[in-house]
Amino acid sequence: MITQDQRPVEGFCQVSIDTGTDTVGVTLLELDPVSLKMSWRESFTLYGSLLNYRTANQVLPQYARYARLLGITQALYGYFQQVHPHQVVFEDNYLRFSPATFRSLVEAVEAVKSAIWAYNPWLPFYTIKANAAKAAVGALAPRGTPNHDKELVRKGVASCGKLAIPPDALAGMSEHAVDSVAIGICALEQLIKELTTQG
């Protein structure tokens, strides 16, 4: 006699992160391995300056940024221990308007990597380009058109139909949390494409 395994199929858990040296958006998404349907679990924002305050890190002003980054690393490490992700994705650093901004993004990415390696050195992680994340939710401005609409990504997430998020929850998210949702959608779409083209 053949018996079927009655245990529920475990969902694929992904944490997506909009990196920053003070403000960090975090989203937890789940992918059903059978239906390949995405589900939203939660989104929130970490504020490095508040984490510093809560952990009573008393530092000289010139070291405040590094203390914030340490607080962010510790908070992400704790979150990974709580949700046990199967992979982590985050916004890649890219040259914006100045080398100083680029340096800050590199430091922010390293803070995320430090949290991942502290949690599990073998945990898969990937970077997502900002433009790719915006394109995944239809929020990429046409080439040559300046994008001054800070709410474009939120509108894209709400209307793209790829992920069901309660409107009140989406409206209450910071722009960094919303960006982390777009990053997560982009990464899971890439995974779905890989799974459906294997053959």
Residues 20-44 have a mean pLDDT of 94
pLDDT in tens, 69-111: 999 999 999 999 999 999 999 998 765 666 666 777 888 999 9
Higher pLDDT, 107 or 6: 107
- Residue 157 tokens, joined: 């997430």
More confident residue, 148 or 110: 110
- Chain centroid to CA 72: how far? 13
Give kind and range of the element (H or E) at residue 109: helix 99-119
Global pTM reads: 0.88
Of 173, 126, 188, nearest to 26 by C-alpha is 173
Phi, psi of 85 (to 5 degrees): -70, 155
Q: Does position 6 have pLDDT exceeding 70, yes or no?
A: no
> How much is the mean pLDDT over the chain?
87
Each residue's pLDDT tens digit, 33-52: 889 999 999 999 999 888 76
Of all residues in the chain, the percent with pLDDT exceeding 90 is 58
What's the pLDDT score for residue 147? 59
Q: Please tell me the least confidently modeled range out of 11-15, 26-30, 95-99, 153-157.
A: 95-99
How many C-beta neighbours within 10 Å does residue 37 have? 15
Reply yes or no on whether the pLDDT at 136 is more than 60.
yes
Helix (H, G, I), strand (E, B) or coil at 190: helix
Please report the domains of the chain, with CATH numbers, ordered by start residue: 12-197 (3.30.420.10)
The pLDDT score that the predictor gives to residue 142 is 66
Of 134, 143, 114, 109, which Cα lies nearest the Cα of 17? 109
Above 70 in pLDDT, residue 5? Answer: no
pLDDT of the residue at 63: 74
Given pLDDT bands bounded at 50, 70 and 90, which one contains residue 199?
low
pLDDT at residue 156 in the model? 92
User: What confidence score (pLDDT) does residue 66 get?
Assistant: 83
- The arithmetic mean of pLDDT across residues 118-125, rounded, is 97
CA end-to-end span of the chain = 31
